[in-house]
Structure 1
């Protein structure tokens, strides 16, 4: 096991670092203290290291504009309808940064912050822990929120991702990691088989928010219980697919301790286990090969965003964090 650190730039007066975790199998994970970001997952192949996720052309690119690739997104991921949180007779107006709605924690969310960090290695693990205090009122959220994001690489080619948080006031908190998996890049995800043991999903309205609650996947293109090639879904003419230009939907998970999702190609497999109650599948619908992420096009990767699912109405109790209440989210991605 090995851990190394390299300083590579600055952002708003803060030093930027790239951290590299390496296991005894030769698997390499690269992390950035900008956004507590998963930059690369490199698996050893016969012809060298193969990146299993979508990455920007350089590490310097991540802080130039917001693309969410590999970032820790929060305080909440997804959208809040009408940008208003009503709780205990108090009305909190969050920034409107997508039409009339609030999305991805505001324009200056957790994925745009520079974190402190520490590194550690044992005989069987290499890890990096990132810490940040999000101050009261930042992006409209009440409470000083203390956050720790930890990545741990094991010799079983498993990468564990854990978020721990504590607030000193009642607030909203529903973070996720926004990595796009691309197991056989530069090929698209058309021939990647996705399996999710979920009986229910949430259809979306024109604002990309649920409007019908949980609905059965049975008889729809969203039935991934036995596995489907993503290309057989994202290129259909189903209304929910065409309106979103791909998949952008929440799936209700059955048990946080068993398989949540699996991606499989002819060459590679990635399995996901999470403590989150749902996963939002997003097939990189908006990328078009232009701008800073010019190396990424529509359907080049798929994000599996572990989180509490967005809601149809204004009941945000599921993502309300009480003062002093510990929050934990844990994912494990295992690569073969």
Structure 2
């Protein structure tokens, strides 16, 4: 599997065209990766827990694996519990070999073409993902797409963070700038209107430990795409590393890695990835938005430009960048 390294000397990212994946992320002065990843390339061919890729054409879940658009019903691949569509289907963007379009010391651009009917989705989609290392220590992901014919478009980076490098993430300190979240049913499908986080385990407006609650929920940052704005902060007191996440996206899916269970695979840390080994923070549109007209729209009309920007800025809690 091809690996591409971009760096400014302080922050170094290792990427792969397979799934446009982030395979490793290193901060100068820190002796471990900041993300989960496989050390054996063949494990990315399976990668059933989506360690590192960009997921789409529609991140998250679509209830019943179907939607209606323009008077037509679309039946999608039902790759989640044989009932719902997850992350664009079994052969979604995360499983595709993206084309290498541009490359320099500090940036790389991948491209992908998803034909009309792929995984059941309508519309022919043309996508580019640009990764850039910006000073002093930020990884910026810009995703742009255009559709030939109306389509669903909602891409997200599926990166698991462990700023301590090993062990679990229950003691990481998390802040989320959201006063609402989406309650879900047993299949993790939204139940309807957002609920207030106040007085619940979902209230991260004040920094606190992640804990061992099985999070796999959308936090409602806004009611539509917006200019890039701070969404979340994650800190490890063990390693002294801090990450600030800002995004244009209206939602942040938080997944605590509850179902990670890979005792036999070789990992970047050398330790097996088990439950709570990493925390996925996925800026995206709200789940099942295509079936909920009150949610921010994930419909991309013919010729319209989709643009999604997320910035992951790293520093030391003591104020240093590396």
Tell me the TM-score normalised to structure 1 length: 0.85
- Secondary structure at the counterpart of residue 50 of structure 1: coil
- Is the Cα contact below 8 Å between 1:137 and 1:143 reproduced in 2? yes
Q: Does 2:65 correspond to 1:43?
A: no
User: Equivalent residue for 1:323?
Assistant: 302
Q: Does 95-104 or 318-327 show the bigger shift?
A: 95-104
Q: Unpaired runs of 5+ in structure 1?
A: 1-15, 235-240
User: Equivalent residue for 2:184?
Assistant: 204
Q: Distance in 1 between matches of 2:65 and 2:46?
A: 26
- Is the Cα contact below 8 Å between 2:79 and 2:86 reproduced in 1? yes
Work out which of the residue numbers 60, 63, 66 in structure 2 matches 1:81. Answer: 63
Q: Distance in 1 between matches of 2:97 and 2:263?
A: 26
User: Equivalent residue for 1:12?
Assistant: none
Q: Unpaired runs of 5+ in structure 2?
A: 316-322
User: Equivalent residue for 2:142?
Assistant: 162
**Cα distance per residue 1:120-153 (max 9 Å; x no partner):** 43xxx71000011111111111222111011001
Q: CA deviation at 1:172?
A: 0.9
What is the Cα-based RMSD across aligned positions, in Å? 1.8
Q: Does 2:162 correspond to 1:182?
A: yes
Q: Distance in 1 between matches of 2:43 and 2:290?
A: 37
1:58-97 → structure 2 map (5 Å cutoff): 58-97=40-79
User: Equivalent residue for 1:253?
Assistant: 221
Q: Distance in 2 between matches of 1:320 and 1:312?
A: 9
Q: Does 254-263 or 98-107 show the bigger shift?
A: 254-263
Q: Does 282-291 or 307-316 show the bigger shift?
A: 307-316
Q: Distance in 1 between matches of 2:157 and 2:98?
A: 15
User: Equivalent residue for 1:278?
Assistant: 251
Q: Distance in 1 between matches of 2:288 and 2:145?
A: 22
Q: Distance in 1 between matches of 2:23 and 2:112?
A: 19
Tell me the TM-score normalised to structure 2 length: 0.89
Q: CA deviation at 1:313?
A: 8.4
Q: Distance in 1 between matches of 2:302 and 2:289?
A: 26
- Is the Cα contact below 8 Å between 2:9 and 2:28 reproduced in 1? no
User: Equivalent residue for 1:130?
Assistant: 110
- Secondary structure at the counterpart of residue 111 of structure 1: helix
- Secondary structure at the counterpart of residue 59 of structure 1: coil
- Is the Cα contact below 8 Å between 1:212 and 1:312 reproduced in 2? no
1:211-226 → structure 2 map (5 Å cutoff): 211-226=191-206
Q: CA deviation at 1:290?
A: 3.1
Q: Distance in 1 between matches of 2:64 and 2:210?
A: 32
Q: Distance in 2 between matches of 1:293 and 1:136?
A: 37
User: Equivalent residue for 1:54?
Assistant: 36
- Is the Cα contact below 8 Å between 1:29 and 1:40 reproduced in 2? yes
Q: CA deviation at 1:256?
A: 4.6
Q: Which has the higher contact order (CA 8 A, sep 6+)?
A: 2
- Is the Cα contact below 8 Å between 2:150 and 2:301 reproduced in 1? yes
User: Equivalent residue for 2:100?
Assistant: 117
- Secondary structure at the counterpart of residue 297 of structure 2: helix
User: Equivalent residue for 2:5?
Assistant: 20
**Cα distance per residue 1:212-261 (max 9 Å; x no partner):** 42000001111100111012xx2xxxxxx4xxxx1111111146532100
- Is the Cα contact below 8 Å between 2:40 and 2:266 reproduced in 1? no
**Cα distance per residue 1:53-101 (max 9 Å; x no partner):** 0111223321144331110101111111111111222111112222321
Q: Does 2:249 correspond to 1:269?
A: no
